[in-house]
Amino acid sequence: MSNFANLLPEVLKVCKEVGEFQLQHLQKVGLEAIEEKTANQLVSFVDKNSEQMLVDGLKTLLPNSTIIGEESAPENRTLTSETWIIDPLDGTTNFLHGLPVFSISVALFVDGQPHLAVVECPALKESFTAALGKGAWLNGEPIAVATNPDLKNSLIATGFPYYTFGKMSEYLELLEVFMRSTQGLRRMGSAAIDLAYVACGRFDAFFEMNLSPWDIAAGILLVREAGGQVTDFHGKEDIVFDQEIIAASSVIYDTFTKEVALKLG
């Protein structure tokens, strides 16, 4: 299929079905049903069943595609001609504590480039979608990154380190810089939502370390199609398998990146 954008409604339909399943179990998962994969990385049957639902649905749409997912093939770093990169439940800790800030993140990479993206937020009733060269949308309405040109008037998002603490001192120093120079910092607990919020202008910028490809794959396309920039801390654009990310509106990108690179680069 040459026009992959035509798949977007079907991909969104699959994500919504997974979201309905998750809502059925919100605040109903007991401690006995939760595993800790590594320190502070939780997983439940909801994650696993959600991923299987995604895999089944997406493979039906593109039978020859491959899948890189958090619960299946997490070590895979090979992009084939058609590769789905999926996070069935981004924000598992939020979900397990009953916080409604969690999402389903799906991206389709074709010949190494992102072509489709969905970040579905079931409890928030928001669907972020994008298609390469065609724009980005929230619940079907076009979205764009923020236009504020000044760091002092910006709202910044980040994610706290929770299992790798090698640059904790530098990270805390950077937080202090932004606490003093912006209107505030937010930590949502779902990188996919952070990126979606940059895409629609709620956040001016986002940075985080120690991320996995499924955390950012969909958000990369969302932000770029909404007019923003996405790179690593040094300006590299091909970052889906890297572990650091900056996403920002184009007007604030240079100033923001300079501050991040100074402390964490």
Bridge-based pairing of strands 82-90 and 103-110 is antiparallel
Mean pLDDT on 42-56? 84
Task: Examine the fold and report which residue of 116, 142, 168 is the final residue of a domain before the chain moves on.
Answer: 142
Residues 23 and 137 in one domain: yes
Q: Say whether pTM exceeds 0.85.
A: yes
Q: How many CB atoms lie within 10 A of CB 177?
A: 14
Residues 135 and 160 in one domain: no
Whole-number Å distance between alpha carbons of 121 and 105: 9
Residues 120 and 214 in one domain: no
Whole-number Å distance between alpha carbons of 161 and 264: 13
Task: Examine the fold and report which residue of 105, 122, 142 is the final residue of a domain before the chain moves on.
Answer: 142
Residue pLDDT, tens place only, 113-144: 999 999 999 999 999 999 999 999 999 999 99
Residues 179 and 118 in one domain: no
Residues 84 and 171 in one domain: no
Residue pLDDT, tens place only, 143-202: 999 999 999 999 999 987 665 556 778 889 999 999 999 999 999 999 999 999 999 999
How many domains does one find in the chain? 2
pLDDT of residue 3: 80
Range of the domain at 84: 4-142
The CATH number assigned to the domain holding 115 equals 3.30.540.10
